[in-house]
Each structure stands twice: as C-alpha cells, then as structure tokens.
C-alpha cells in the first residue's frame, strides 16, 4: 500500500498520556470523589436511573492497582458524525486492554450502534489497529446514527453481549450518543447483565462540555483546519482587495466553532447565534450589522473583508423561527399537495401570501427569491422545512447587497461590493488529528479501559487540566447522569445531556466582544497556517484559543 511520508510518520507517533496513567497498568489506583447529582431535574433523572444515578466522581492516580483480575471482552462503537481522533480512542482502549492481559479481546461493532444490534463486528489485532494510529476519520469500523433507546433494542444488545461473553461496551459519541450510553447502562444494571457501559465525549461542534468535560475531542483539529483555510482566504482578500468572503462553518446548535475560528483569524465580522437569540436580532438587523462593516471599510478604500457565519444562526432569529413554524403548518397534510400542484412560482407566492400572517410575510418578503424557494421546495420526510439546508452565507450576502443599494441611493455608501461564498464542514471532520487531539483521544481510550477494569458503569471517560502539558492532565471518570436534564423531544419529556452553548459572559466571548469593533473596520487578519506535528511544543501542542482563555 502506498502511503504519504506524513502518514508513515503519524503511524509512528507515540501519543502522550497523563502522568498518572504512565507508570503501567499495575501502578494505577482510584481516588473516590464526591457523590454527584444531575445538572437539573434531579428527582426525575434519579427516578429514571435508579441504578446509575448519584455515583461518585473518580480520579486515577499512581499507586497499587487494586482492581480484581478478570478477563475482559470489550465492544467499541463509533456513533454519530466523524471527528478527528476517534481512531486514537480505540487505539488507547486496545493498548490498555492488551497491556492488562494479552488474552483480553476488543470487538469493533461496525457502522455505529446498528452493528451491535445486527451482531456485525470485527475483532481487533495488532496488525489491523496499527494501520489507523493517529489518523483521521472513522473508517476503522465506520459510524452510524442509529439510536439505542427502546427496550427491544436493549434486549437485543444484551443477547449479543451474552453471545460473545462481552463484559463492557464503549460508546464514542456526542451528547445524544452518550445519552443513549447512559440509558443502556441503566438497562444493563437493572437486568443484572454484568455488562458495563462507558462513554467518550466526541463532537467537533464543541457543545459537549461542562465543568468536567473541558473540551470534546475533534474540536481542536477541526477548528484549526477551518482556521487555516479562513486565514488563507483572508490573505487572498487582502491581496486582491476586491471581494467580501462569507464563510459558513459547522455549528447547528452552538457557535463554538465560529467563535474559535474568529479568535484564531480575527475576521471583520463573526455572528454568534447565542448573541443573536439573546438580543432578539432580526434578519434585517443582522444584515445592517454586516453592512455597517462593509460601509466603514469602503470609506477607507477597503472594498473587501471576511464574515464568518455559524451554520444554524437563522434558527436563533426569533422572527425566522416563527416563519418556519407557519410554513410547516401551511404545508401540513393535503395542503402540501395543493401547493405543489401550482404550476408557477408566481401562483405559489400568492398561495403563501394568503397563508402567512402579515408579520411572517414581511420577513419572507425580504428574503432573496432563491432562499424563498428553498424554504418551500426542500422539506424533510415529515413535510418540515430543512433549516440546515438553508445557505445562510448566501442569504446574508444578498441581504447586505440590498442594504448597500439602499445606502448608495441615499448617498451614504460609495463603495463596491462583490461577494464570494464558502462552507467549511466536512473538510475538518476527518483531518489528521493535531498532536493535542491525538494525545487527548488516546488518553480517553486508555482511561476508558481503566474505568472498565475497576468496574464502573454509566461513566464518561474524563481527562481534564487540558490547557497544561499532557503530563499534567488529570484522568478519571464521572457518571453520565451528572450532565443530564429533561427536555421536550417529539412531544415527550426525555432525559438528555444538556448542550453547552457559547456563554456570553465567558472569557472567550468577552475577548471577542472587546476586539470585534476594531476588527470590523481595520484589516487585523491573523494567519494560523497549517497544523504542525513536528517541532517545538509551543507550536505543535498548543490548545485552542477557547480553552486557553477559559483556563488561562
């Protein structure tokens, strides 16, 4: 097989471990911390998780290993979207498992949780796993989005585990996947299956975080990948001096990716969805905000710039959310057939005008025609608007163009405006992991096996103190139920892990807020460059700006 020199070098990279995990398996012991409770809705969560709720946080430290010797047969699942470093979680898990007892076995269930339900698996060996060390992607076993949430599924999972003598399952995923891990752990405990469940925190969106989980894995690599390209675009913009680049980045529910990329590259504009919601900003106000930067820069002879747009920002605009609800209602049931039967867009537009309230029609009317049609022509299987498909970068550039035309007519704007559009998403999800993510993920996997060895169930593998060198990282575990609250999902109250949104009083946002007015007018671009894997630690092992500001 032909491989690149970098790929060969990454295979040979030895990930760094936290100090307390370095001395060999026989020299790792447990320090038991305080009992825990859920982040909210304590009585309801406790009632739903009587066997796994309220357990103690634990920290590993150097000392004599007191776990009972036992052959371990472990299954591992990759769940949800890809994130750089997932392969290293499995490598760390495998290495700890084999270092404890060469007879231990690791099953990889293929293509996500469905692999467990369908008994579709492979058994890892050294030759196979060595092909994936320190590489990006989830192709080692594949991933999937099947949810483990019904009693029937749990019963099938228990039977598959019993068939293979599996003692523990490790689920590598985001908030929904780890919610499923907690529910599965409770089922296994209630039915005395003897099977443990351990979760690992993954998502490039950065919204699986709290006082215990300082950073989800993959966020570091993905944001560095996006920031490199945004920096390249900034340099091009500053060279050509004739384009405004509108860059959409991943982040449907939270704006952590957009904020981190802004801190790395200092663009002229970066929208933060959480601030849009807090200030109840309208689409028109957002467009005016961007147009202000365009106008002020044009007055200085700079008809170019860069604006970063979070993927899900339109869902945070109150008037837009109301519009979407009305459109979904307008097209419910047989009314959708009547709408689709209309032969021209003009007739469809008249249908829409009659069906929407005056307030929502006013919002709809200011949208570019392409976006209007997108709202009505691209719907999910339930007939609802697929908001994630809306090209918000094009929406805002067109609205800014209209605002500038009005200003030009009023004589307040004399510049030129040409827009280019980009969406950075999949480009970052399978990148070669940074040294940080390679180390962090390997530690999460290694640590997950220690939680298994010591008999914990319903716990999340936890590595903290991440803004310091890896030797100072702290490894341990926390009950997944600690992160949970009740939320309304599909008309029912469900226990779920609370998503972490950008905190508007947090240090990362406050730093951004203090500098953005200057960035909006001046050309203050910074150019992070490519991820570095070899060289001084201050270049190769740096954490994200978000983590540095939060913990620095």
Profile the chain (552 residues) by mean pLDDT over runs of 10 residues.
Answer: 88 94 91 96 96 97 93 97 97 97 97 98 97 96 93 97 98 94 97 97 92 94 98 98 97 94 98 97 96 97 98 91 89 84 93 93 89 79 70 93 95 95 95 97 98 98 96 96 89 89 97 98 97 94 95 84
Q: Number of C-alpha atoms within 13 angstroms, CB side, residue 48?
A: 22
Looking at the chain, the domain(s) classified CATH 3.40.50.450 span 36-218+433-497
Q: How far apart (Å, rounded) are the C-alpha atoms in residues 1 and 16?
A: 28
pLDDT for position 23:
81
Q: Let me know if 205 is a catalytic residue.
A: yes
The Cα 56–Cα 33 span in angstroms is 6
- Enumerate the H helices of 191-299 as residue ranges: 219-240, 256-265, 273-278, 283-299
- Looking at the chain, the domain(s) classified CATH 3.40.50.460 span 219-429+506-551
Say what the pLDDT of residue 382 is: 61
C-alpha–C-alpha distance, residues 408 and 416, integer Å: 10
Other CB atoms within a 10 A radius of the CB of residue 522 amount to: 14
Q: Which of 460, 337, 309 is nearest to 395 (CA)?
A: 309
Q: Please, which residues have CB within 8 angstroms of residue 59's CB and are 6 or more apart in sequence?
A: 20, 30, 31, 33, 474, 475, 476
Quote the strand ranges of 272-409, DSSP E: 305-310
- Evaluate whether 220 touches 233 at the Cβ level (below 8 Å): no
d(CA 253, CA 260): 15
Cα distances from 458 to residues 42, 158, 184, 202, in angstroms, run 17, 15, 8, 16
Q: Provide the CA 533 distance to its chain's centre, in angstroms.
A: 23
Helix (H) or strand (E) holding 276: helix 273-278
Class of domain 36-218+433-497: alpha beta
**Phi-psi map region of 452: left, alpha, beta (phi>0 left; psi -120 to 50 alpha):** alpha
Q: Given the structure tokens 């032969």, which residue do they identify? A: 343
Which stretches within 74-218 are classed as H helix? 86-100, 113-117, 126-129, 151-164, 175-190
**3-state SS assignment for residue 75:** strand
Tell the burial category of 67 from Cβ atoms under 10 Å away from its Cβ (0-12, 13-18, 19+): middle
Helix H or strand E segment including 423? strand 419-424
Fold for domain 219-429+506-551?
Rossmann fold (3.40.50)
**Please, what's the largest Cα pairwise distance for the chain?**
81
Q: What is the pLDDT of residue 496?
A: 92
What is the Cα–Cα distance from 436 to 220, expressed in whole angstroms? 7
Q: Which of 205, 207, 220, 437 is catalytic?
A: 205
């Amino acid at each position: 097989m032909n491989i690149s020199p970098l790929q060969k070098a990454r295979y040979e990279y030895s990930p760094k471990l936290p100090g307390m995990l370095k001395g060999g398996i026989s020299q790792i012991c447990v320090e038991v911390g305080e009992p825990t409770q859920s982040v909210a809705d304590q009585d309801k969560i406790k009632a739903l998780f009587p066997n796994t709720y309220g357990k103690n946080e634990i920290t590993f430290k150097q000392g004599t290993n007191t776990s009972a010797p036992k052959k371990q047969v472990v299954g591992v699942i990759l769940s949800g979207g890809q994130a750089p470093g997932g392969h290293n979680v499995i490598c760390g898990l495998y290495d700890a498992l084999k270092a404890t007892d060469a007879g231990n076995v690791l099953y990889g269930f293929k293509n996500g949780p469905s692999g467990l339900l369908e008994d579709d698996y492979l058994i890892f060996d050294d030759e196979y796993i060595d092909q994936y060390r320190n590489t990006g992607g989830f192709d080692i076993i594949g991933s999937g989005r099947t949810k483990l949430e019904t009693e029937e599924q749990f019963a099938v999972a228990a039977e598959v585990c019993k068939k293979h003598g599996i003692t523990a399952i490790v689920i590598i995923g985001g908030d929904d996947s780890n919610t499923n891990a907690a529910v599965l752990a409770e089922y296994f405990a209630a039915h005395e299956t003897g099977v443990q469940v351990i979760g690992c925190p993954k998502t490039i969106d950065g919204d699986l975080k709290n006082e215990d989980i300082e950073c989800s894995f993959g966020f570091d690599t993905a944001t560095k990948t996006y920031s490199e390209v945004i920096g390249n675009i900034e340099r091009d913009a500053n060279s050509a001096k004739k384009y405004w680049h509108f860059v959409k980045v991943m982040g449907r529910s939270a704006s952590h990716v957009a904020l981190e990329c802004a801190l790395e590259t200092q663009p002229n504009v970066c929208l933060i969805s959480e601030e849009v919601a807090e200030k109840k900003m309208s689409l028109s106000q957002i467009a005016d905000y961007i147009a202000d930067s365009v106008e002020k820069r044009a007055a200085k002879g700079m008809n170019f710039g860069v604006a970063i747009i979070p993927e899900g920002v339109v869902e945070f605009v109150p008037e837009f959310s109301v519009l979407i609800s009305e459109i979904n209602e307008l097209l419910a049931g047989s009314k959708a057939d009547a709408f689709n039967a209309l032969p021209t867009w003009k007739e469809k537009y008249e249908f829409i005008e009659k069906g929407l309230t005056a307030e929502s029609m006013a919002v709809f009317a200011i949208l570019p025609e392409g976006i209007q049609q997108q709202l009505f022509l691209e719907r999910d299987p339930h007939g609802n608007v697929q908001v994630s498909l809306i090209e918000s970068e094009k929406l805002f550039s067109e609205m800014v163009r209209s605002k500038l035309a009005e200003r030009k007519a009023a004589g307040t704007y004399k510049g030129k405006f040409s827009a280019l559009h980009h969406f950075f998403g999949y480009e970052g999800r399978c990148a070669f992991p940074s040294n940080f993510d390679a180390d962090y993920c390997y530690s999460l996997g290694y640590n997950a096996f220690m939680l298994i060895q010591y008999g914990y169930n319903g716990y999340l593998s936890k590595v903290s103190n991440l803004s310091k060198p890896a030797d100072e990282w702290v490894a341990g575990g926390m009950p997944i139920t600690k992160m949970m609250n009740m939320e309304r999902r599909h008309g029912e109250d469900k226990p779920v892990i609370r998503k972490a949104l950008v905190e508007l009083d947090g240090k990362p946002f406050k730093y951004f807020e203090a500098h953005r007015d200057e960035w909006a007018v001046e050309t203050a671009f910074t150019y992070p460059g490519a991820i570095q894997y070899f060289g001084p630690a201050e270049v190769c092992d740096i954490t994200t700006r978000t983590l540095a500001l939060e913990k620095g």
